[in-house]
Structure 1
């Protein structure tokens, strides 16, 4: 990827946001993009002289759109705009979330439709490269531009509020001074350019999609391991039957699972009595594939958003005008996250059913709850309750929230999406899904050990050894919460995927 990410407002990807947010990759602003920002600012100054009424520029915002903002009042008004819109509430964003949000907004500014001063654009880049992270509340936005929350970033730019640097909190003024930066003096439209975007939901949404991609790859691996553990029927993994349906995600999941099971003896030694396995085993490519398709759609929509303007009003440099619009509306990709959350629930629900069946001796032919000794130990009996509780939480988190809005600001703002909350719910689903898949993996590995004498696939063998490197065979009853947490960390950190990818060779 290189040592520096060049930003031009048109090519930002989910992976780019990950690299800057979590790997702290440095950024540079493309010169052509800088010129777009300069040109749009020049147009702003021309419109100041003409005194043409423009929302958020020389007129107020929201219900105050009828208030005239005189030129001599620009700096104070824009400062007041920042202060008055800081209304978010805790919890506070983590460092990677703050970085993702700032990068999302910076890239949108480079399209040149805000008319903001170039120094505002440069401040985002400075904060990212210097590791200055504004304290950013995550709640309070209704998803019609994240005004109440990202205003707190603007607050630190003018020297107020708090920032985090190297894990410690400082007053923004002190942090700016230590870094050789001065508080910004805001001019016409600068305040609105800072506060009016969907950067919070878009930035955190990008992190969610990155994590979701890993989760669904893990889901395929865990399923393949469980199928080996039960000696399940492989006919649902036949290429020919999938060609008759050919949904892209379904085919992708199939290829992932086939790859994990390459060289497994399951292809020649599956249970002959397993004519048709339960649907939680038989329909996995279709279920996981639906989630993959939902994630692909959401990614496409979000990346389109990240590389386009969500500014209102929109500065149109070539036309020489600035127009009120609804480009801040994020519904196109918000409903994608709603769909994704629902699809992920199907993934976790099926995992729960597989886990319960893995503990059933009538189904597996192994010991009850996979205990090493039915006379002395209880085994995995209680973990069924854990997955059931987690699944119940996912069920409620997957309920739609984008339509739960009310009319605000004197009935002018009568639509919302709750985009930050929708994204947050999706991220909570992903986190719980890691636990659920981890518990299934513990069952699969235990069943494989109890059955003995199996030749695992290249990918599943690597996964099995990664699991056993952190959680040993259950040879007697012990604290299972500790085992669950270890497998969770193995999955969450990406270590399982690293081990599988490193050990798997085509």
Structure 2
């Protein structure tokens, strides 16, 4: 993508990833710019009429009963940004910062927040000139990420630190180097900057794309594992899957069949069991369930990306401003909570396949896939994937209902949306390590089945891993092998070998 024109209503997860990872340039559409101007004029008209508006001319939260006078608009909004800067590390990565900024920028373009047009324009300039505020990732209860997004506001008013040109520096210095000037804030500007779920949603958009990419690779690793196991291919038969009418299940089975095209595994073999263990047989159903939940979550998150979650909400056609609770993100948060549980099922199945691959009673191969009696091979590594799976099982516990009553009893519900996304991100990386171990085991098992053709794409995966990690013929540092296999998964090396939807 050369440049993305933002309208406020058609941003995709792929575009978020492109801006975040590839530094794709952004611009505002003419329609979006007009909405911003019209909404801002409405704000001033209502302020002139002394109409009490939350976050405009009265305070926020428990201070909603305190009046803010015109002459203090700039000071009040800057103070709101400063006082709401309450986060603690870890700091967002550069990719996450860019996704967060883009998410908030696109939300502003609906015209429902009444922000000064110069502010979303500044977001675009900062993205295009690679000025990235330091944003802490903890300090939000997930009912608008006010304590985290405020750090973007600090940068905009010339305070706080940013990353620019690979260095951390004061925002004023970065702005000067980039030919920009800090902005002054007016009525509602502070609230417009912080009143959004952009931290959870922006990070979530990147994570959904990462999970989708991971499962393309995971299916191919499973295909190689099935070859190493000399498993039964009957459970992949499309005649089985079309009877169930689950789209994800059928899609996964088709993808695995494509990975195995031309494989020896389709040849008749009297040594094969009629039924394999469920951790092998059920993969289309397990991975397919994840794909369907991914689609559910993607659909709801893209609504979040392309609609307002502001409070209060500017209604241009009605020429008024109304209180709103659209900052409640439970609709898409539940999808991320569910994905944690779904990935725990995937983890468990992979770990069980690893155990089976090491067991001669299932494979007719040497115990722990060892090439000789004096080589220990993969006996102790069982503890590694067991501990990773235990972490996943713990991390998939829901947290979206854990809350306290805040702001004088007014804010008594929350979702912990940023943390829900963060723990799912950790689950995904643990899962990469588990599948890295399955990849190592599968390649070792396949090596014992010499002279047999592998599948079109399972074979490509095998050749790539063997170009980095040789056959385990003597005991050596397995930690290094695990990290090498993990990098093949995490950096996109294996993904680039495979067909993508």
Global fold match (TM > 0.5): yes
Confirm or deny that 1:263 pairs with 2:259: no
Taking the aligned partners of 1:252 and 1:430, their CA distance within structure 2 comes to: 21
**In the TM superposition, what are the counterparts of 1:72-471 in structure 2 within 5 Å?**
72-270=71-269, 272-373=271-372, 375-471=373-469
Tell me how far apart the structure 2 counterparts of residues 432 and 470 of structure 1 sit (CA, whole Å): 21
TM-score normalised by length of structure 1: 0.98
Query: Could you list the per-position Cα deviations for residues 108-143 of structure 1 after superposition, in whole angstroms to 9, with x for gaps in the alignment?
Result: 011110100010011100110000000110000000
C-alpha distance in 2, partners of 1:270/1:48?
A: 81
Residue 474 of structure 1 deviates from its aligned partner by 0.7
In 1: Cα distance, 2:468 partner to 2:139 partner: 40
| SS state at 2:385 partner | helix
Separation in structure 2 between the aligned mates of residue 498 and residue 447 of structure 1, nearest angstrom:
24
CA displacement at 1:276 relative to structure 2: 0.8
Q: Matched residue of 2:251: which SS?
A: helix
TM-score, normalised to structure 2's length?
0.99
CA contact (8 A) 1:366 1:451 kept: no
TM-fit CA distance, 1:220 = 0.8
CA distance in 2, matches of 1:359, 1:115: 62
2: CA distance between counterparts of 1:166 and 1:477? 45
Deviations 1:235-266 (A, max 9, x none): 11111111111211111111110110111121
Q: Does 1:480 align with 2:487?
A: no
CA contact (8 A) 1:231 1:270 kept: no
8 Å Cα contact 1:150-1:194 kept in structure 2: yes
Kept in 1: contact 2:231–2:272 (CA 8 A): no
Whole-Å separation in 2 of the counterparts to 1:130 and 1:279 = 52
Contact (CA 8 Å) 1:144, 1:417: kept in 2 or not? yes
- Alpha-carbon offset, residue 154 of structure 1: 0.4
Distance 1:37 1:472 in 2: 59
Deviation of 1:166 after TM superposition, in Å, equals 2.0
Q: What are the superposed Cα offsets for residues 365-423 of structure 1, whole Å, 9 maximum, x if unpaired?
A: 111111111x2201111111110010000000000000001110001001100000000
**Cα displacement (A) at 1:271:** 5.3
Tell whether 2:46 aligns with 1:37: no
- Tell me by how many angstroms 1:469 deviates: 1.5
Q: Deviations over 1:35-73 (max 9, x none)?
A: 111110010010011111111111100000000011111
Indicate the SS of the match to 1:113. Answer: coil
Q: Which residue of 1 aligns with 2:17?
A: 18
Q: Secondary structure at the match of 1:164?
A: strand
Which whole-Å CA distance do the structure 2 matches of 1:278 and 1:361 have between them?
14
Quick one: distance in 2 between partners of 1:18 and 1:488? 21
**Residues 231, 269 of structure 1: 8 Å contact kept:** no
Give the Cα separation in 2 of the matches to 1:41 and 1:481.
57
Q: 2:55 touches 2:191 (CA, 8 Å); kept in 1?
A: yes
Q: In 2, are the aligned partners of 1:145 and 1:197 still within 8 Å (CA)?
A: yes
Give, in whole Å, the separation in 1 of the partners of 2:214 and 2:490.
8
User: For 2:384, what is the secondary structure of its paired residue?
Assistant: helix
| Whole-Å separation in 2 of the counterparts to 1:263 and 1:236 | 17
Instruction: Name the SS of the counterpart of 1:169 in structure 2.
Output: strand
CA contact (8 A) 2:133 2:162 kept: yes
List per-residue Cα deviations over 1:442-472 (Å, max 9, x = no partner). Answer: 0000000022122111011111111111111
Q: Could you say which residue in structure 2 is the equivalent of 1:499? A: 497
| 8 A contact 1:232–1:271 mirrored in 2 | no
Separation in 1, partners of 2:24, 2:379: 46
d(CA) in 1 for partners of 2:371, 2:130: 51
Q: Report the CA distance between 1:202 and its aligned residue.
A: 0.4
SS in 1 for 2:46: helix
Secondary structure of the corresponding residue to residue 5 of structure 1 = strand
- Structure 2 counterpart SS, 1:52: coil
When the two chains are superposed, the root-mean-square deviation of aligned CA atoms in Å is 1.1
1:270, distance to aligned residue in structure 2 (A): 4.6
